[in-house]
Amino acid sequence: MSARRFNWPLWAGFLLTLIASLSYVTFFVKFPETRDFPWVNLLLFLLAAMLVVVGIRRGFARDRAHPTRSKIVTSIVAALSALVVASFIFAIFIAARWLPASTGAPHVGQKVPEFTLSDANGRQVSLNQLISEPIGGQAPKGVLLVFYRGWW
Amino acid sequence: MRSIEQSLASFNQAGIRPVAISVDSAEVTRDLMQKAGYTFTFLSDPNAEVIRRYDLVHAGAGEHGHDIARPAEFLVDRTGTVRWLNLTENYWIRARTEDILDKAKLLP
């Protein structure tokens, strides 16, 4: 076998786990089809895992120039890759479910509480205004209230 | 909210006014709207008073342990009555705009 200095599958696999994680929050989250279930990212993780497995086999091969050092580096990079995948799974499937039950939220058929809040320009806006001010010359049929976490 | 902005014409046509509410200040909200290109109504509830009245407080989940809103969507008719709502169990999973527009068609 040829002299294998650089264990590229190992590092490519590690890099791919990082790309797979970051691409979800920076890109795939923009599209409902790839956001609701992160299948693209999980596929990328699968590819990364295959690369890392190949990398581990290389790193533990007997023909390495520095077998001990190679084994240590390989183990650390493989463990880091696993950690990245585990963090992603934890953040998306577990921590994201830590939401209050909100059992006291208005139900279907109930009236929602009236409110007056200021908009982005500092103008005071009431719910009553929102459901009565015309939209394009027509009386509105209703409002869609979207509560979001915000940037804080 | 990105998909709401993209479907704003359909919302207008359906006679539904989308309104986003969070604890963000007007300043932060303006910044978000500018960066993301949002043009519909955004309201600030900095002390989570309205969010609390709707029982949507996610206690301590914000920066420095501030209370923030959990994600939630309510379709409210012109009498102020809830016609449809979505309380997601995972904050990466949100209601689809096309589903909301379908529900909006049922409003009188």
Q: Residue A124: name the closest of B7, B83, B50, B16 by CA.
A: B50
**Domain-located, residue B57:** yes
| Three-state SS annotation for chain B | CHHHHHCHHHHHHHCEEEEEEECCCHHHHHHHHHHHCCCCEEEECCCCHHHHHCCCEECCCCHHHCCEECCEEEEEECCCEEEEEECCCCCCCCCCHHHHHHHHCCCC
The pairing of strands A142-147 and B72-77 is antiparallel
Q: Is the pLDDT of residue A2 over 60?
A: no
Q: How far is B10 from chain A (nearest CA, A)?
A: 12
pLDDT in tens, B28-78: 999 999 999 999 999 999 999 999 999 999 999 888 889 999 999 999 999
* Shortest Cα distance, chain A CAs vs residue B88, angstroms: 9
- B22 closest CB neighbour out of A38, A103, A147: A147
Q: How far apart are CA A11 and CA B71, in angstroms?
A: 38
Which ipTM was obtained for this model?
0.96
Give the mutation candidate from B41, B45, B49, B107 for the A interface (greatest A CB count, under 10 A): B41
Q: A150 near B43, Cβ under 8 Å? A: no
Q: Is residue B51 part of a domain?
A: yes
Position B80 scores a pLDDT of 95
Token pair belonging to B92 = 């990466």
How confident is residue A1, by pLDDT bands cut at 50, 70 and 90? very low
A117: β partners:
A125
Contact state of B53 with A113 under an 8 Å Cβ cutoff = yes
| A106, A133, A147 member nearest B82 (Cβ) | A106
The distance of B72 to chain A (nearest Cα, Å) reads 5
Both tokens of A126, joined, read 């009431």
Q: Is residue B56 part of a domain?
A: yes
Average pLDDT over residues B16-26: 96
Token pair listed for A22: 């970051």
Residue B25's pLDDT is 94
- Reported as a pLDDT band with limits 50, 70 and 90, residue A4 is low
| Nearest beta carbon to residue B54 from set A32, A99, A113 | A113
Spell out which residues of chain B touch residue A120, defining contact as CB-CB under 8 Å. 26, 29-30, 33, 42, 44
For chains A and B, count residue pairs whose Cβ atoms are closer than 8 Å.
Answer: 221
CATH number of B77's domain? 3.40.30.10
Nearest to A100 by CA among B2, B42, B54: B54
Angle B49-B55-B61 (CA atoms, 0-180°, nearest 5)?
A: 75
Within a domain: residue B103?
A: no
CA atoms of B91 and B98, how far apart (whole Å): 19
Contacts of B48 in chain A (CB under 8 A): none
CB contact under 8 Å between A32 and B42, yes or no, is: no
CB A105, CB B87: distance < 8 Å = yes
Question: Rounded CA gap, A122 and B26, in Å?
Answer: 7
pLDDT digits (tens, 9 = 90+) for A132-148: 999 988 899 999 999 99
A-chain residues near B79 (CB < 8 A): 111
Better-predicted residue by pLDDT, A114 or B107: A114
Owning domain of residue B33: 2-95
Q: How many structural domains does chain B have? A: 1
* 3-class DSSP state of A109: coil
Q: Percent of chain B, pLDDT > 70? A: 100
Residue in A100, A118, A149 closest to B22 by CB: A149
Would you state the structure tokens that stand for residue A120, as one six-digit string?
Answer: 């982005």
Cβ contact A120–B26 (<8 Å): yes
Residue B29 lies in a domain: yes
pLDDT over 50 at A90, yes or no: yes
